[in-house]
Copies of this chain bind each other. A is one copy, B any other.
Amino acid sequence: MSMHAFDAAIALAPQEAGAWTGATSAAYGNMIGPFGGVTAAQALNAVLQHPELLGEPVAFTANFAAALSDGEFTAHARPARTNRSTQHWVVELRQQGQTMMTATAFTATRRETWGSASESPMPEVPRPGDVPAPNRSGRVEWINRYDMRFIEGGFPAAWDGADHGDSRTRLWVRDQPARPLDFASLTALSDVFFPRIWRRRAKLTPIGTVTMTVYFHASRQQLEAMGTGYLLGQAQAQAFRNGYFDQTAQLWNEAGELLATTHQVVYYKE
């Protein structure tokens, strides 16, 4: 049995304490450098692999300082503070001594409490099997690593530059081939939405994500119970202004449980 491309992509080889060697993956190549979702997953993986890890990820922020060059990088993860049941992490990815990504993570052991996600119910949408898979292959390699079934707000049919007044996208998505969901793949899936400005303006504007935050509402147990089901992803911008726009997104499982909410800021040039 061969390793899934995602597991190969996020694999880290231990160096000295708190440092690992990773490498970019051609399977997740983007226009310039690798797909940011996988780079973020690699940074989180340095925390997940750390022998001092306490608990599970609750929040994670990755800042994209520069596009990784193809090849190896070093990941440094440091538990900046360890409390009784919570831990705060500082992470950096470096190439040739230069910082390529900074990140922080918050991990915790979670207890069962009263809970509710009724304030962000999953929208009513057709089931994954009733939504056709796009029959084209992606213009960049990483797109081919995901099964994306657009329900609303797919890639513009025409790049006409018109202001569509709305940037919302809804899609069913999972790894391709299917792979059991975990915190690393959920992190990458949080970055799977194409740039909101392309959706809003139907114009191939140059863009780059500069920061992404993921809040994990699901426990490891919940993720494991999900297996290889689809996630419903919904993403929308709130503001485009002076070279940067934001994206706010939700990811539910097929049962309608909210697994993660995620936000990012993206640079755009025009």
Contacts and interface: CB of A to CB of B under 8 A. Distances in A.
A65 interface: yes
Contacts of A103: 104
A39 to B, nearest CB: 14
Contacts of A210: 58-59, 86, 106, 108
Interface string A222-251: 000000000000001111111110101010
Given A111-B243, A258-B238, A81 B99 contact: yes
A52 to B, nearest CB: 14
Contacts of A58: 210, 244, 265
Counting chain B CB atoms within 10 Å of each CB, the highest count among A211, A238, A241 belongs to A241
A219 interface: yes
A96 interface: no
Contact of A106 (B59, B63, B99, B110): B63
Copies in the complex: 2
A119 interface: yes
Interface in A242-270: 242-244, 246, 248, 250, 258, 261, 263, 265, 267-270
A119 B261 contact: no
A65 B104 CA distance: 11
Given A102-B90, A215-B246, A265-B215, A117 B167 contact: no
Interface of A: 58-59, 61, 63, 65-66, 80-81, 83, 86, 88, 90, 92, 98-100, 102-104, 106, 108, 110-120, 163, 165-167, 200-201, 210-211, 213, 215, 217-219, 236-244, 246, 248, 250, 258, 261, 263, 265, 267-270
28 contacts: A58-B244, A58-B265, A59-B63, A59-B211, A61-B213, A63-B104, A80-B92, A102-B104, A104-B211, A108-B243, A108-B244, A110-B242, A113-B240, A113-B241, A113-B243, A113-B268, A113-B270, A115-B240, A116-B163, A117-B239, A117-B240, A119-B238, A215-B263, A215-B265, A217-B239, A218-B241, A248-B248, A263-B263
